[in-house]
Amino acid sequence: MLTTSRLKTSRPLAVAALAATLALTACAPTDEADSGTDAASETSGSAAPDAETCTPDTMETVTDGTLTIATDDPAYEPWFVDNDPANGKGYESAVAYAIAEQLGYTQDQVAWVTVPFNKVVQPGPKDFDLDVNQVSITEARRKAVDFSTGYYDVVQAVITNKGSAIDGATSVADLADAKLGAQVGTTSYTAITDQVQPSQEPAVFDTNDQAVQALKNGQIDGIVVDLPTAYYMTAVQLDDGMIVGQLPLPEGEPEQFGAVLAKGSSLTDCISTAVDALREDGILDQINQEWLAQQGAPELS
């Protein structure tokens, strides 16, 4: 596991939060508030907290002295490995432990709980302190939950099976007649409806595994997922899988994944400051290189 004990620099936790300049894509369902808003630039507070505020002794967590982190089940590679978030393997597991260590928590002070993706972004009290589960930061979701600043910049990609109707597509226009699918409530689904705008109604699935099975069965022509997941699906889950290409970034700006917290959580600023320190110190890049480094995929025009 890549931990901050190997990578930590002398920068203190109280480093001023980086100004996030990346505009983010909308989620499903979309609303007018999403348009042209920099979702990564807002946390629940206006200034970075001091180090004494963000410690296991002072943070108001679900369980005193423990940082409870949620994710879905199954927890997919390359974000997690062997469906075991607690093993520290995979990008999001490593990031979660790096955040915890930045805040002063040891590995045995981190507890994992299972929470379905759709429940995470719904309003209401949470039985976790933060969730890491490839949740894109959007203004629509901010109405129900808090987000940390982004810990991963992502693009959406289209995958298929070799020999399918969209094998060989080189542009978004080539996907106009395709039957595409994505997981419900994700920005992958929004990418289909907003960017591709196919003539056929997109298929919606509760899980990515269901989407993969539908592609195997020939019920859909392709799936839209984030790029690292696209690599995993085509290499592991599909016998003849291939990446058709990356979708263009909306307005040239990337989507970001952020940790999800309860609306108005007292922990949001602490988690954001920890993420910002990990990004500025290069630790996020190092975790990326360990778990997500891949060959490039073609970009659709």
pLDDT in tens, the chain (301 residues): 444 433 333 333 333 332 232 222 333 333 333 333 343 334 444 467 766 789 999 999 999 999 999 999 999 889 999 999 999 999 999 999 999 999 999 999 999 999 999 899 999 999 999 999 999 999 899 999 999 999 998 889 999 999 999 999 999 999 999 999 999 989 999 999 999 999 999 999 999 999 999 999 999 999 999 999 999 999 999 999 999 999 988 775 678 999 999 999 999 999 999 999 999 999 999 999 999 876 678 999 9
Pick the closest to residue 159 from 298, 29, 254 (CA basis): 298
* All domains in the chain, ordered by first residue: 15-153+255-291 (3.40.190.10), 156-248 (3.40.190.10)
CA end-to-end span of the chain: 38
Q: What is the DSSP string of 163-201?
A: TSTTTT--SGGGGTT--EEEETTSHHHHHIIIII--SSP
